[in-house]
A and B are shown apart, each in its own frame.
Chain A
Amino acid sequence: MQDLALWALDTAVQRGASYAEVRVLDERHRSLSTKNGKVGHVSDADSLGIGIRVLVSGAWGFAATDVLTRPGIERAAAHAVAIARASATVKTADVVLVPEPAAQIRWSSPCEIDPFSVSIDQQIAELLAVDRELRAVQGVTLAEADMEFRRMHQLFINSEGARIEQIRTTAGAGYVATSFHEDEIQKRSYPNSFGGQHQLAGYELVRDLRLVEHARRVAEEAVALHSAAQCPQFTGTLILDSSQLGLQIHESIGHPIELDRVLGMEANFAGMSFLTLDKLNNLRYGSPLVNVVADARLEHGPGLGTFAFDDEGVAAQRTDIIRNGEFVGYISGRDTAAMIGQNRSNGCMRAESWNRVPMIRMTNISILPGERPLSPEELIAGTDSGVYMETNRSWSIDDKRYNFQFGCEVGWEIKNGRKVRMLKNPSYSGITTEFWNSLDAICSREYWTLWGTPNCGKGQPQQTMGTGHGASPARFRNIKIGTAYQKS
């Protein structure tokens, strides 16, 4: 890896790059699924390539190749320089990078059980055991289960002397029971929808999820939804489980704090942000109970946004985003930090793979748990009336991140401190700051989970990234509930 990287770096500098960085990434990916008692797919893929990013005449260029001969790499590096020169013909200011110490480090993420050392036989057997449990419930018409594992071994070097070798292993698993009946399709997932739970971990994640143990209940709930009452349309109290709150954070905090959005660099596709620069330290984002951090350090937990260094060589950090309800921080890279006068990037530049340029991505954007002991049961017991919603089913938010609408797989009507009946098709909507200001209770540390969102899309060409979101169940007042089914 080192030779490949040095060939690229030397060529870029010789061709005139004032700054150059090179990532060589060797990635392995295993994916398995089952569907209605059969193997859906089994695949194993590897990919090795090099990405070269350079600054020439104050403008960026990037080229990536998997032609890993010396001529192939030198041609790619020269191409990156030529591209940067072309960029410099349409610029308004030179790119400036805030300083970052040149690290020399080798780091591996914790991985108790190497998922690639576990036999495919065992992994399929686990999925089929889940499948049997799901289909044992009459009314389940489709049972799907999956697992996914990645190992990313990356060498990063730059022209400032950094040399960072990281090995990150991620794991994910989950399942969904779908039930079709008359004119309705309902589903329930475990432990989360759209692929389950994903973390920076080995096969121990799958072990700890105890997939089979929950399957019967999940399947029964999917079928029971057909006979549940439709979630009513009203304005009232909403309690979210931690996985749905994680996605709420992702969409209505994680994206709007991205500094490239704020600065208009994503205006054409992902959109911009209502968090214009005048709002930093000058906006009540949420109630005083809302404390949100961006934390890529291992101390925060094994999230999909956990690493030692980001993909431009900046060390993992914890940044306060919302402190006691006040908006206090963006997430940045070395160039965007310089644009707003900050003296250091907070280390959020990440690339999907070797063939994509690093860009600002969420790390682990988490709401901190409540300091006062509070369980979900106590939260419900302290609620006169409202709806408790679990597990995301749909999500949508405008391109400045004001107006959102979420649907969940299941709701539970709360009356006098008790869950009294199941509700189907629950949904809620709102305006971001009004929503977070309505939070009046959040459960404590024991009920906090660091969820993984493996499918966050952003950028052109689009990149998919895994992000982490820690949350515990929380309560919100005066929320519009049931809007997805509102008819004019």
Chain B
Amino acid sequence: MQAETRTTPRLNLTPELARQLFDQVCRHVPAGAGVEIMLNEGISELTRFANNAITQNVAEQQTSLSIRTVLDRRMARSSTNRLDAESIRAAVERALSLTRLQEPDPEALPLPGPQRYPAVQRSFASTAAVTPEERAAVVGDMVRVANQAKLTSAGTYSTSQSASALLNSAGLEAFYEDTSAEFSVTMLAGNSSGWAKGNHPDVHQIDPVGATRRAAEKARASADPMELLPGAYTVILEPAAALDLLGFLFWDFSALSVLDQRSCLTGRTGEKLFGDNITVHDDAYHPLQTGAPFDGEGIPRQRVALIDSGRAANLVYARTTAERWNQENAGANARATGHGFPLPNEYGEAPMNIVIAGGETSLEEMIATTGRGILVTRLWYIREVDPFPKILTGMTRDGTFLVEDGKIGRGLRNFRFNQSAIELLNNVVALSAPVRASGEESFDMVVPAMKVNNFNFTEVTRF
């Protein structure tokens, strides 16, 4: 709108700049030592609103350089956001100094060499170009929905752009750029509320105002919520509720967490732990997924079947974990799957691009075929109660409804649940087509709505 909007910064990090900085780092690394750099630049802007007005509106730009030095199976990391020559030299010195203090680690591997990455396109100029005025205009439209419905709105509308590069002295070079546009909205009525959230790399693919209308309808429909006794109920979990709960399970598919005996899969890998209708992949290349095609060491991410028709089929492995797995499991042939965290770290790896296979039952059909159950929009404050049976606790929030005789009925006061995620995945009786969904407790996933029998609600709160 105004020339002043061009105060919005732009990304500077390019593969060429990354190589220049890498060369600068290498000048301070002694012969015989290995070095890896990770460069990240991010620009993110977020407009926040509450009580039908913008209450906070922020922007940040930052770049970080993280240096890992490797000497005789020893390694350490130092990071800085100062990219002048002296600061880079000092950061390299710090990394080398920390490295020399380590004992050699017999499990440490040499730096990986050049890799090939499948192309992904997750950066959109349309998203990077959004101005504060344009964000405010969209928020103004969302607030207008609230005012027209005599409701109170609160939420966010944000855009971001980022670039990252990973280079090492064995010749590996990886570069990735992406953008993201995201909204989240809560609509508040006198004693009820509704919620919706969505995101996409391309700002043109999200519909904040349409989602605001859906959240408003939930707030209106759940007015004057009634209290239902806690107990075992059939629940219909909308995708955001399903992902926030199940996100706590997938950390356990880290091979290192199994080796460390802190995973619920310890001693149970390969077993049929879940229902026949449950199949889950980690798939960074799924068209609804986001994120870089390489891991914290620059290894290409692979598509991995974590759960295959109910069987805990595969784990994910960082390079070092795969080596250790093969040493500790005679006859095993584990290979790195491209899910490692930046080294050094004590957690190994994790799947972060979860895709849960869906079914053919729409959300509407799930409701229509339910004699008595509970529809859950969203879950909140989920925490692990017991790691091996994977009991999780948390609350429902912002739109919990009684379903009776195939129809959505009264709004309900919110429940506390204590539910095993493993048992849950044995009690799924219907799945919708999967969608890209976003919650607040776990990372985004491609996930269906789920109809689940015997979901264990233990208490009811006051609203």
Residues of chain A touching chain B, judged by Cβ–Cβ distance below 8 Å, are: 33, 35-36, 38-49, 59-67, 75-76, 78-87, 89-93, 119-121, 124, 141-142, 144, 178, 180, 183-185, 263-269, 271, 274, 355-357, 359, 393-400, 402-403, 405, 407, 425, 427, 429, 431, 460-461, 483-488
Is B384 touching A82 in the complex (CB atoms < 8 A)? Answer: no
Q: Give the distance to chain A from B54, nearest Cβ to Cβ, in Å.
A: 4
Minimum CB–CB distance from B190 to chain A (whole Å) comes to 12
Task: Report the separation of the CA atoms of residues A142 and B259 in the bound assembly, to the nearest whole angstrom.
Answer: 10
- Contact for A59 among B44, B54, B82, B184, CB less than 8 A: B54
CB of A419, distance to nearest CB on chain B (Å): 23
Which residues 373-427 in B have Cβ within 8 Å of A in the complex? 380-389, 391, 393-395, 397, 414, 416, 418
Contact B462 A403 (CB under 8 A): yes
Looking at the complex, which one of A41, A78, A141, A429 makes contact with B459 (CB distance below 8 Å)? A429
CA distance A120 to B7 in the complex (A): 43
Contact A488:B4 (CB < 8 A) given known A75-B9, A267-B50 = no
B231 interface residue per 8 A CB criterion: yes
Can you list 12 contacts pairing A with B, beta carbon distance less than 8 Å?
A: A44-B98, A63-B59, A65-B60, A79-B8, A85-B132, A89-B140, A91-B54, A141-B261, A183-B388, A269-B156, A407-B386, A484-B385
Answer whether residue B314 sits at the interface, using C-beta atoms and an 8 A cutoff. Answer: no
Closest Cβ–Cβ distance, residue B405 to chain A (whole Å): 22
Q: Across the interface, do B416 and A403 meet the contact criterion of CB distance under 8 Å? A: yes
Verify A46–B79 contact, CB threshold 8 A: yes
Of residues A35, A65, A83, which shows the largest number of chain B Cβ atoms within 10 Å of its Cβ? A83
Q: Do residues B346 and A41 form an inter-chain contact, with CB atoms below 8 A?
A: yes
| Nearest B-chain residue to A265, judged by Cβ | B50
User: Which one of B154, B155, B459 lies within 8 Å of A483 (CB-CB)?
Assistant: B459
Are A45 and B154 interface neighbours, CB within 8 A?
Answer: no
Residues of A within 8 A of B2 (CB): 82
- Per the 8 Å Cβ criterion, residues 148-188 of B in contact with A are 152, 154-156, 158, 184-186, 188
CA distance A398 to B462 in the complex (A): 10
A41–B348 alpha-carbon span in the complex (Å):
11
Return the CB mask of B104-147 against A: 1 if under 8 Å, else 0.
Answer: 01000000000000000000000000011101110110010000
A40 to B91 Cα, complex, angstroms: 20
A268 near B155: Cβ-Cβ < 8 Å: yes
> Are B344 and A40 in contact, CB atoms less than 8 angstroms apart?
yes
B165 CB, min distance to chain A CBs, angstroms = 17
Q: Does any Cβ of A come within 8 Å of B63's Cβ?
A: yes
Q: Quick one: which of B103, B105, B458 has the most chain A CB within 10 A?
A: B458
Residues of B within 8 A of A483 (CB): 418, 458-459
Query: In the complex, what residues of B have CB within 8 A of residue A274's CB?
Result: 462
Smallest CB gap from B160: residue in A: A461
Indicate if B277 sits at the interface (CB-CB under 8 A): no
The answer to whether residues A398 and B461 also contact, given A38-B105, A47-B81 and a CB cut-off of 8 A, is yes
Q: Which of A66, A268, A357 contacts B58, CB < 8 Å?
A: A357
Find A120's partner among B59, B98, B103, B418 (CB 8 Å cutoff): B98
A-B pairs, 7 with minimum CB distance:
A40-B346, A403-B461, A180-B261, A79-B7, A267-B154, A86-B132, A45-B79
